Amino acid sequence: MAIETVQVPRPSVVPAAPHRLSRKRWFTEIGWRHVVGVLAVIYAGFPIVYVLSASLSENGTLTGSNQLFAQVSGLNYAELNDTLFWTWMGNTLVIAIVTAIGTVLMGAAAAYAFSRFRFTGRRGGLTALLIIQMFPQMLAFVAIFLLLLGLGNVVPLLGLNSTLALICVYLGGSLGVNTFLMYGFFNTVPRELDEAAKLDGASHAQIYWTIILRLVAPILAVVGLLSFIASFGEFIIARIILQSEGNWTLAVGLYGWVSQRLDANWGLFAAGAVIAAVPVLILFLFLQKYIVGGLTAGSVKG
């Protein structure tokens, strides 16, 4: 006798409707963040738009008109060719690039030594760097001036009005904070890699140049970017050391255009400021993928 099987239809599973937040709850939990973000963008972007508008105005003033882009003209940019602007741009790029490279090499070597070696005075050296970096370099501008004034009598290449002297001053003041920044990142690299490389016969130099530096590339990019920006826009020490107009940097040169109240050309200044921001912007976009990882990874392990 055959037994018939009866298939009972299964109830279809209806997916639950997504829970929608009320407008009030959405604003209190999420929406206010968008409002703060928009206000922050407006607050940060308005000065940039205003300077760009002033650079395209023929009035040569920042207060002559409050209407943005009331005049659009490239006269100010064309007049830059009749000044020493491009000479100052070249001087600034050379100083900033050399300083950034030197800062990365010096800071990485010091951080590697403090991270991997145990020697007498290690803790005292770290403490000294921590204390020194608390005082800005500009506080010692009188001492720097007198030092270079006397040094120029012996070695003119390292005296006043020397680009090389300015680079050396920048390198001397950037060692402390960058060493600590790199030191925390170097500590995140496992020591087992060093030991494995030593078993294969690698020396400390080979480990440093071929293994460690490749693993800490994010922090090298961050330190290089920060050093480039700092030396690119530095004014006080550059104004003291560089005395001839042909050796000025952009910060010193642009200030000279607006230092006289009765003869200030703000339109030319704004045009120069817009162009001066381009190298920093390009470098920032190029190194953007390293910035977040380089700044945060060093805080995981000290």
Which sign does the torsion angle of CA 51, 52, 57, 60 carry?
Answer: positive
| Residue 7 lies inside a defined structural domain of this protein | no
Asked if residue 214 and residue 140 are part of one domain, the reply reads yes
In a domain, 194, yes or no: yes
Judge whether 266 lies within some domain.
yes
Residue 221 in contact with residue 294, Cβ under 8 Å?
yes
For Cα atoms 150, 152, 158, give the angle at the middle one, nearest 5 degrees. 120
Shared-domain flag, residues 122 and 148: yes
- 199 within some domain: yes
**Does residue 34 sit in the same domain as residue 104?**
no
> Where are the alpha helices (H) located in 174-265, listed in sequence order?
175-186, 191-199, 204-207, 213-215, 217-233, 236-241, 250-258
Task: Assess whether 55 and 173 both reside in one domain.
Answer: no
Q: Is residue 2 part of a domain?
A: no
Kindly state whether residue 10 falls inside one of the protein's structural domains: no
| Whether 295 and 239 share a structural domain | yes
**263 and 148 both lie in a single domain:** yes
Q: What is the pLDDT of residue 2?
A: 52
Among 39, 54, 73, identify where a domain stops.
Answer: 73
CATH number of the domain bearing residue 118: 1.10.3720.10
Final residue of a structural domain among 73, 101, 135: 73
Are residues 141 and 198 both part of a single domain? Answer: yes
Q: Would the pTM of this model clear 0.95, i.e. be above it?
A: no
The number of helices, as runs of H, and strands, as runs of E, in the chain is 16, 0
- Would you say 114 and 183 are in contact if contact means Cβ atoms under 8 Å apart? yes
pLDDT at res. 276: 93
Residues 112 and 211 in one domain: yes
CB 129, CB 200: distance < 8 Å: no
Q: Which two tokens stand for residue 284?
A: 């920032």
The answer as to whether 232 is a domain residue is yes
Residue 243 half-sphere exposure toward CB, CA atoms < 13 A: 9
Check whether residue 197 and residue 59 sit in a common domain.
Answer: no
pLDDT by position in tens, the chain (length 302): 555 555 555 655 555 555 666 777 877 778 888 889 999 999 988 888 888 888 888 776 666 556 777 778 888 899 999 899 999 999 999 999 999 999 999 989 988 888 888 888 888 888 888 787 788 888 888 899 999 999 988 988 888 989 999 999 998 877 777 888 888 888 888 888 888 888 888 888 888 888 888 888 888 988 999 899 999 999 999 999 998 998 999 999 999 888 876 677 888 898 999 999 999 999 888 887 777 655 555 444 44
What is the structure's pLDDT at 13?
54
Please indicate, yes or no, whether residues 122 and 57 belong to a single structural domain of this protein: no
Number of domains in the chain: 2
pLDDT given for residue 294 in this prediction: 52
pLDDT at residue 118, rounded to an integer? 83
Q: pLDDT at position 299, please?
A: 46
- Residue ending a domain, choose from 73, 96, 128: 73
Q: Is 239 a member of any domain? A: yes
Shared domain check, 66 and 168: no
Do both 52 and 164 map to the same domain? Answer: no
> By residue range, what is the domain housing residue 220?
84-299
CA 192/CA 198 separation, integer angstroms: 10
